[in-house]
Structure 1
Amino acid sequence: MNELDRDTELVRARLQRAVADVEPAPDALPTLLSAARRRRAPYRRPTFLIVAAAAVVAVFAGVAVSVQTPTPQPVSVRPGDYLAAVNGGVIASFDVTSGRERTELARIDGGEVTDLAGDADRVYAAVSTADGGRVVEVAAGGQRQLAETADGRALTANGGRLAYADGDRVVVWAGGARRDLPTPGLRVLDLALSGDGRLALLAERGGPAELLLTGPEPTTVEGAERVPTGSCAPLAITGAGRDIAVLEPADCTALDRARVATYAADTGRKIAAGTPFATPQLTAGPVGLSTDVQGRALVAMPGRGQWLVDGAQILPIPLPRDCRVPATF
């Protein structure tokens, strides 16, 4: 019996055992025999595969060369880092878990940094000087003065827009254009911008702090809608994508617990109440709230504590050295 006959008998026996009561397809035996012969035949790599492999190597070589080419690095904070102003005018990034300083981003001369905000590849600093103040923009190409201020404060940035309070108005920058929004009768404590250009104000007008929301790209704060936030006055606000995150006391009678709630910027509806966590005694002093692209929140109280809020997980994190203003994402 030759080799082909032995293969034929072997395959026929296996088919009979596997499908005792099923009639095989007409081409079942030739198909199996052909597969058996291919397994015994020496392998020859087709020419087109060799050519294709060479082309792939050439493409990866080109990619490797392009990756190794130096490119300007933006000054934005990478995921897992936050910003802080330390040693006077030094702005640096810090690892959010270890508190270790990663990179010095800028040195601001001629004044004291009083507030910080970051947005994509830009960092903004409010600077107090002997003659008043200014707002400085820091980018990959360096830094420039954006505007002079009387008492620039409550700096916030989101979606290519910048806003800050200055005297009795709120200044909004968008697309290189400036809008001044008068705030008569309001004492602005904090500001936030949603991703679609709505402005949120944390402000007092003769009573506890209130959360106010405007429409998209506002030209005035008149008619801003008051958002019901419960019996406890909010402490700080910030943009959270298309929404607004609000730092609130968890208990109005015991101000040593807080939570980060989320409100829809278009309707003012409360989306999430937030998980309560322990803090030092909350006061009207400086407390910062910011969010990163991953949706986490950073609560910063200079000299007292910092917390990373990631959904229901609350993680105390190290304070940056010599930082007198709230750190920010």
Structure 2
Amino acid sequence: MKISFAPRSVPLARRLQTAAVLQWVFSFLALAPTCVFLFLYLLFTRFWLISVLYVAWWIIDCDTPSRGGRRVPFLCGMRVWDHMRDYFPIKLIKTADLDPKNNYVLGFHPHGVLVAGAFANFCTYATGFRQLFPGLNSHLLMLPLWFRTPFFRDYIMCAGLVPSDKESASYLLRQRGGGNAVVIAVGGAPEALDAHPGTYNVLLANKKGFIKLAIEHGAHLVPVFSFGENEVFDQVENPKGTWLRWVQERLQSIMGISLPLFHARGIFQYSFGLMPYRKPINTVVGRPIEVEKNPKPTTEELDALHQRYMDELGDLFEEHKESYGVDKDTHLNFV
């Protein structure tokens, strides 16, 4: 294989962008196991008290993730996230106002491999969420497993991340006065296994839990489609029925996380590695669907709102696809 190396004369701005994305990829893929190793390692050194004191803090602080987390605005607004935004680049597009007097459930599609668009748009201030939607606080839901990881849990809470369970989402959505936007990557880990460039498969046909959540709390639904999310990584072919897909789905059912075999470019060369490609991600926030509060929705009400949500998401995709490089004959596929 011929390796295409990056030129030596790369501008400083691009080097900073690469460094910013490198730390993000490391945080996503390796920081959690590194934190676990550090926690255990310290127990067998003269610094064992650090881990012991952390356990005490963990016990005191155990409910924080499910009660809105602990966002640190200073960290969300750091310059490093501007560099990450410019690497791709990532852009947030508003199509309608969201009244901050209400609470919202934002359905994010597609999941992609590492949900780069969701993180940049809703966990950092780099793409202007606060300016586009004043008065709203966004909270991206993440697998509860990561909130049981020492040190790492505190790091991800700084970005406004909360566990993807009903208790955490409900806490935010039942707050009086509104102003909370719960962002759910609806397809979750299973959808990541279908995140191939050029594909527009959305795992949504049987996903109704977030719809029920919205009805129970009277939170308005907002479809979000992130164009380019599936383009920033290649993935080893894994169609359903192959041994690789069987293994991946089996591991996902056991661990709760999917393991897509993805690759893209490197740090100093463009031929292979785990760094994403420099391809644009345009995240379009659709119009809100008003939802009446009903603590005990019927199956018919649930199905009707679910269908309306799919229709609105499909319309959002069709309305904007050609603006972001999708062929006019390509349509969203609900799986």
Q: Which of the five TM-score ranges fits, normalised by the shorter chain?
A: under 0.3
User: Given the two structures, how large is their TM-score scaled by the length of structure 2?
Assistant: 0.23
Question: What TM-score comes out, normalization by structure 1 length?
Answer: 0.23
Q: Which protein shows a greater Rg?
A: 1
Q: Between the two structures, name the one with larger relative contact order (CA 8 Å, sep ≥ 6).
A: 2
Q: Which has the higher strand share?
A: 1
